[in-house]
Amino acid sequence: MEHVECLIIGSGPAGYTAAIYAARADMKPVVYEGLQPGGQLTITTEVENYPGFPHGVQGPEMMNMFREQAVRLGADVRYGIVTKVEFTNGGPQKVWVDDKHEIMADAVIISTGASAKWLGIPSEQRLNGSGVSACAVCDGFFYRGQDVAIVGAGDTACEEATYLSKICNKVYMIVRRDEFRASKAMQHRVLNTKNIEVLFNSETDEILGEKGVEAVRVKNNKSGETAEYPIKGFFVAIGHQPNTDIFKPYLAMDEQGYIITKAGSSYTNVEGVFCAGDAQDKIYRQAVTAAGSGCMAALDAERWLGAKQAVQTA
Ligand code: NDP
């Protein structure tokens, strides 16, 4: 059976950054890239808020650069999906790739990220990246001065609607019930922002447009009436799903499945298993914060392994 010092599961900004640091610390990291190599950034277009790129950079291109840097420094980056794990306190940890290849790892860094939830209507998929986005902070800027719509009624939707209201001309907020789910403070902010119009009891019937978004057809689920709103950007903010199912039997998680890390660190409740990026972060969810937490995980793993080896040789 293959035995590695440091295994990294997942390959967004958190996973690749962890790989860069682990490789430089001579931990010979092996990275399994997972279902979507490069993570969520590979389905966005331009990234303008990652420091160091004064003219912006395409999401997929940036992830290629992260990968290239990790490989150049010695990370062994492999295609493959981790399908099962068996964690024990202190390790070594057992990991199965593609249901067959079994690996033992002294330290594991989980960076499997999260996936945005989508409405599931065909026009949303067709126009994804051409006006449809699940991240207002990433893509809102492209619609400055224009009219946009956002779906959702939680804290994220309210926060993103407020963010968009500062950039865009008008924000329609499509809320499926007659009330918000968000905290009172967030609701209050939305309801007191002049250029946000909340459409309660409303569902997205269809996003209209050929090459880009031109309008949204909204259906009132009480009256059955539909109305069209001309918009250029359509944002979906109905929650995220952390990709953490396979770790459920072993790791402490919150009720939504986000892995709980010890405050200010990447330590999970299992010694030798660390977590970085969106799999443990439902608040910030930015590439730069994910990268920062990937760095933390590699440093934590290095120190933990160092302390363990020191005890073994003493
Ligand atoms: P939530 O799960 O809290 O909210 C999701 C929202 O999307 C709900 O209003 C839900 O409607 C709506 N929704 C779900 N599916 C559909 C659908 N198919 N069509 C239309 N609407 C739909 O997710 P969030 O991302 O907002 O928040 C996740 C967690 O992160 C929460 O605990 C939140 O408090 C926290 N958070 C905290 C922040 C902060 O403190 N600054 C910022 C952002 C998030 P319905 O209400 O009808 O179910």
The full set of domains in the chain, from first to last, is 2-115+240-313 (3.50.50.60), 118-236 (3.50.50.60)
> What tokens appear for 30 in the block?
């092996």
Query: What is the pLDDT at residue 48?
Result: 82
Query: What is the pLDDT at residue 53?
Result: 96
Query: What is the pLDDT at residue 5?
Result: 98
pLDDT < 70 regions, the chain = 43-45
Per the CB < 8 A criterion, the answer to whether 81 and 35 are in contact is yes
CA–CA separation, 27 vs 213, rounded Å? 47
Q: Are strands 57-58 and 46-47 parallel, antiparallel or unpaired?
A: antiparallel
- Position 66, amino acid: F
Q: What share of the chain is helix, strand, coil (3-state, %, to 5)?
A: 30, 30, 40
> What tokens appear for 256 in the block?
């939504």
Task: Determine which residue's CA is closest to atom 13 belonging to ligand 1.
Answer: 238
Question: In angstroms, what CA-CA distances link 170 with 47, 64, 201, 231, 303?
Answer: 23, 36, 19, 9, 50
Report, as residue numbers or ranges, the catalytic residues.
135, 138-139
CA–CA separation, 32 vs 162, rounded Å? 37
Atom of ligand 1 nearest to the CA of 153: 9
For the chain, the distance separating the N- and C-terminal CA atoms, rounded to the nearest angstrom, is: 27
Task: Determine which residue's CA is closest to atom 18 belonging to ligand 1.
Answer: 119
Tell me how many helices (H) and strands (E) the chain has. 7, 19
Q: Is 53 left (phi over 0), alpha (psi -120 to 50) or beta?
A: beta
Atom of ligand 1 nearest to the CA of 183: 34
Task: Determine which residue's CA is closest to atom 3 belonging to ligand 1.
Answer: 154
CA–CA separation, 55 vs 281, rounded Å? 28
- Distance from the Cα of residue 50 to its chain's centroid: 15
Distance from residue 180's CA to the centre of ligand 1 (Å): 9
Task: Determine which residue's CA is closest to atom 29 belonging to ligand 1.
Answer: 282
Residue matched to tokens 């079994």: 102
Distance from residue 181's CA to the centre of ligand 1 (Å): 7
Distance from residue 255's CA to the centre of ligand 1 (Å): 13
Question: What does the DSSP 8-state code read for residue 284?
Answer: -
Distance from residue 175's CA to the centre of ligand 1 (Å): 11
Query: What is the pLDDT at residue 82?
Result: 97
Task: Determine which residue's CA is closest to atom 5 belonging to ligand 1.
Answer: 238
Substitution candidate for ligand 1 out of 117, 121, 151, 155 with most atoms within 8 A of CB: 155
Around ligand 1, the residues with Cβ closer than 6 Å are 119, 151-157, 159, 176-177, 181, 238-240, 282-283
Distance from residue 56's CA to the centre of ligand 1 (Å): 29
Distance from residue 158's CA to the centre of ligand 1 (Å): 9
Three-state SS at 35: coil
By C-alpha distance, which of 233, 260, 266 is closest to 247? 260
Query: What is the pLDDT at residue 205?
Result: 97
Q: What is the pLDDT of residues 104-160, one digit of tens each?
A: 999 999 999 999 899 999 999 999 989 999 989 889 999 999 999 999 999 889 999
Task: Determine which residue's CA is closest to atom 31 belonging to ligand 1.
Answer: 155
Substitution candidate for ligand 1 out of 121, 156, 162, 190 with most atoms within 8 A of CB: 156
